[in-house]
Structure 1
Amino acid sequence: MFSKIRKAYQLFKSIDFEQLDKLSRKVDLPKVMDSFSKLDEKQLNGLMKMLEGGKPKRELPPINGDFYELHLRLSEEDRALQLKVRDFMEREIRPLVNHYWLRDEFPFEIIPKLAQLNICGLTYEGYGCAGRSSLMEGIIAMEIARVDASVATFFGVQSGLAMGSIYLCGSDAQKQEWLPAMQQMKLIGAFGLTEPEVGSGAAGGLTVTARKTEKGWVLNGQKKWIGNATFADVTVIWAKDVDDGEVKGFLVRKGTPGFEVEKIKGKMALRIVQNGLITLTDCTVDESDRLQHAHSFKDTAKVLQLTRAGVAWMAVGCARGAYENALDYTRKRKQFGKPIASFQLIQNHLVEMLSNLTAMQTLVYRLSELQDADMLRDEHASLAKVFCTLRTRDIVSQAREVMGGNGILLEYDVARFLADAEAIYSYEGTKEINSLIVGRSITGFSAFV
């Protein structure tokens, strides 16, 4: 009896007092309620469906940017790790990311939580690292960037550029000293290559100098756009040896005299990343802190090749986050009495976005397969970086477009993806430089000047 009365009540609860007054003039409401109480469950359910229009509730498909279901290629263990990282990003990062992004600050409280995932230095062997595949490393970069590209960049600098420099170019003693603590994120690293007047021309134009003396190596000059630099425990500085003209790497410890960092302010992208302008003034570094296996820019390039693939994956993550947010918005946002996702032009935008995203995903999957097979070449990574960052720009732009004016509000996330995509497009080699790397490979002619 109670359930029947409750269902009857539900039929009338949406009627306001004015409507109820009009209805009472036409029907005997007590009699109607008494009739309802005599209906059996089947009759009452039928009446409910009739009053609701007889239409079944629409079950919308899940929001999933992996349209070709590439995750099915993963082992159960790898898939579990992917979902673990996704859950972490949704629970721990998404609720706070806009707050810190808007304020140009870094959420230091996330570092020990990130460390608990045990994903730092994922592909390295030993030193507490997991020795997992490059494919899995890429997927994790995508999952982090799917929620926030700034956190993905912070993590990429730590796990890829800084740890990678030591792993590829450091001595056994240097690896033992730094990598275990960095893997646990007890120590944070930075990577100093770019300079105020030297970006794309780093291969032959570094102005930071290193001079060997009896006291050690003396470094002078400036580095710019160095992620994590304002709080890093160690910064890898790449400098030109004034004696032989070759590029060498140095581990500069936090607090070293002559090493100063100024935070770069006023950025429109990756605002959580703490980029620094580093000034080296007669900064003396012991020979024991020179990367023992870094003898020329070719060794620096090995690190960049290792991480450039990761940047392509980050671009995929940024694009996926924008697409999935935009799709969710269009299914909820109503105009002219129905969700805008039901309009042809909106669906066309969404399909174009998904097409680009799917092409990007299949490309980076193959890229990581080449890396795991030890077949990765510079031009492979460069092509992925060019294509993925270009298409990410397209996707975030269309995501903003389908969201209309709300697309520029930070609370809907897409505005952040739109801005951050611009930084991903430029760092770790511009489109033009990476295009020339690929062009040299396919034509046999170098167009570099």
Structure 2
Amino acid sequence: MLDKIRNILKLLKSVDFEQLNKISKKVDLGAVLNAVSKMDEKQLQMAMKMLTGGSNKKKELPPINADFYGMENKLSTEDQALLLKIRTFLETEIKPLVNNYWLHDEFPFEIIPKLASLNVCGYTFEGYGCAGGKSLMDGIIAAEFGRIDPSIATFLGVQSGLAMGSIYTCGSEEQKNEWLPQMQQFKKIGAFGLTEPEVGSGAAGGLTTTCRHTADGWVLNGQKKWIGNATFSDITIIWARDLGDGEVKGFIVKKENPGFNVEKIKGKMALRIVQNGLITLTNCIVPESDRLPHANSFKDTAKVLQMTRAGVAWMAVGCARGAYENALEYTLKRKQFGKPIAAFQLIQNHLVEMLSNLTAMQTLVFRLSELQDEDKLRDEHASLAKVFCTLRTRDIVSRAREVMGGNGILLEYNVARFLADAEAIYSYEGTKEINSLIVGRSITGFSAFV
């Protein structure tokens, strides 16, 4: 009995006499001690736990795991090692920089040589210094970059997918040998010029930028807008409508070409690290040797877009994952009413909704890339993934901001960027409406395009 009383007195020893006097007016201390003396060991332990609010030992929380279904475990040992290498690099070299550069609307050029060392640019291409890897791992790389910063992911996507992809898919062997090895190592930077000031979704048949064949080569006139990397790229892939046959053709346009001018687009609220340009082509002369010989209609352009649209879906997954992870970490640390806000039901509901959407997105794009590796990918597959993933990403980043309250709009808490950047990802590489029509045409047999 004395041992039991000593245990309960341990709880009271820190209470001063004034507090003890107050307690005695509310509780019969003699009756309490008598009741304690009659408890067995299990009952006493339960009483001690109730009185102390649980163990003095700090609660061990589960690790933050955004790969809830363990999709990454399906990767080969080599790919898992590459993923770890990329994740470590992005966490240490990129994450500390992005908030400042995002705020000031500038690009961190010092990271370009470091990106080259990863050897992941043009990851799926065979030869020309490229890895010849699988589309699945290429998608995971895009997501991993998006998880840290969608702007840097977009820079890589333009360089690796759109610009290099155009040359790889539509270029001559001479053009591939000249440009792809240099671009793979970021010694030359590329851009992709399709969208125009007045033509976005209607690019298939409505390009106003024109090309005309002459004895001196091709003469290009028109404008391109929202062209990522354009303010500092060495080459830009320009798509123009041929005045001779009305078909869309592709060109490698160098920054020093006469008649080629770029103006930086300012005042963006999203992807602020990406340097988007407004390109003006005024009787811009391009030699025949810089025309992409296998780009002779918009169908050839669409081959590049199909490939990169899958990458955008992966990038949306990364953006959503970054927002979720930062929000979950915040709720585990932020305390209100005496405990972490993650302990409250409504916060947990938001977190579960976020994780549900994220997991659905992950499984969808995983299968999408498997189809790509099996050479079974169709336009409607990529479009469905783009629609679903970017739509769900908007919901996830919104909930991430919500559980963080007012702090969610501050850059230092690493969710505000994702909230803003998700809006750009939602629109580029085909809007929800256009991609929905592509899927709709596939499942109904009717084209609802104007």
Tell whether the structures are fold-level matches, with TM greater than 0.5.
yes
Which amino acid counterpart does residue 234 of structure 1 have in structure 2?
I
In the other structure, the counterpart of 1:176 is: 177
Question: Aligned ranges for residues 247-266 of structure 1 at < 5 Å?
Answer: 247-266=248-267
SS of the counterpart of 1:240?
strand
In the other structure, the counterpart of 1:418 is: 419
Distance 2:376 2:223 in 1: 35
Which amino acid counterpart does residue 187 of structure 2 have in structure 1?
K
Write the deviation string for residues 388-415 of structure 1: whole angstroms up to 9, x where unpaired: 0000000000000000000000111101
SS of the counterpart of 1:283?
strand
Distance 1:383 1:377 in 2: 10
In the other structure, the counterpart of 2:400 is: 399
SS of the counterpart of 1:125?
coil
Distance 2:400 2:374 in 1: 36
Distance 1:437 1:244 in 2: 26
In the other structure, the counterpart of 2:286 is: 285
Distance 2:343 2:327 in 1: 14
Distance 1:297 1:183 in 2: 26
Write the deviation string for residues 58-80 of structure 1: whole angstroms up to 9, x where unpaired: 11111111000101100000011
CA apart distance, 1:181: 0.3
Distance 1:137 1:186 in 2: 21
CA apart distance, 1:272: 0.2
Distance 1:249 1:125 in 2: 22
Distance 1:221 1:358 in 2: 43
In the other structure, the counterpart of 1:429 is: 430
How much is the aligned-residue C-alpha RMSD, in angstroms? 1.5
Distance 1:143 1:313 in 2: 9
Which amino acid counterpart does residue 381 of structure 1 have in structure 2?
A
Distance 2:102 2:427 in 1: 19
Distance 2:75 2:103 in 1: 36
Distance 1:82 1:373 in 2: 22
Distance 2:344 2:351 in 1: 11
Which amino acid counterpart does residue 220 of structure 1 have in structure 2?
N
In the other structure, the counterpart of 2:72 is: 71
In the other structure, the counterpart of 1:148 is: 149
Distance 2:280 2:208 in 1: 12
CA apart distance, 1:83: 1.1
Change over 3 Å in CA distance of 1:58–1:250 after alignment to 2: same
SS of the counterpart of 1:144?
helix
Question: Aligned ranges for residues 35-434 of structure 1 at < 5 Å?
Answer: 54-434=55-435
Change over 3 Å in CA distance of 1:122–1:60 after alignment to 2: same
Which amino acid counterpart does residue 284 of structure 1 have in structure 2?
I
Q: How many pairs were matched up? A: 404
SS of the counterpart of 1:109?
helix
Change over 3 Å in CA distance of 1:248–1:413 after alignment to 2: same
SS of the counterpart of 2:281?
strand
Worse overlay, 78-87 or 235-244:
78-87
Distance 1:427 1:121 in 2: 20
Write the deviation string for residues 401-434 of structure 1: whole angstroms up to 9, x where unpaired: 0000000001111010000000000000000000
Distance 1:104 1:300 in 2: 30
Distance 2:162 2:55 in 1: 60
In the other structure, the counterpart of 1:41 is: none
Which amino acid counterpart does residue 429 of structure 1 have in structure 2?
G
Distance 2:59 2:76 in 1: 34
Which amino acid counterpart does residue 325 of structure 1 have in structure 2?
N
Gaps of 5+ in 2: 1-13, 17-48
Distance 1:154 1:411 in 2: 22
Which amino acid counterpart does residue 87 of structure 1 have in structure 2?
T
Which amino acid counterpart does residue 297 of structure 1 have in structure 2?
F
Change over 3 Å in CA distance of 1:65–1:210 after alignment to 2: same
Q: Between the two proteins, what is the percent identity of the paired residues?
A: 81
CA apart distance, 1:55: 3.1
Distance 1:120 1:201 in 2: 30
Change over 3 Å in CA distance of 1:284–1:87 after alignment to 2: same
Which amino acid counterpart does residue 165 of structure 1 have in structure 2?
S
Write the deviation string for residues 290-326 of structure 1: whole angstroms up to 9, x where unpaired: 0011110000000000000000000000000000000
Change over 3 Å in CA distance of 1:388–1:52 after alignment to 2: closer
TM (normalized to structure 2)? Answer: 0.88
SS of the counterpart of 1:126?
coil
Which amino acid counterpart does residue 440 of structure 1 have in structure 2?
R
Distance 2:115 2:149 in 1: 14
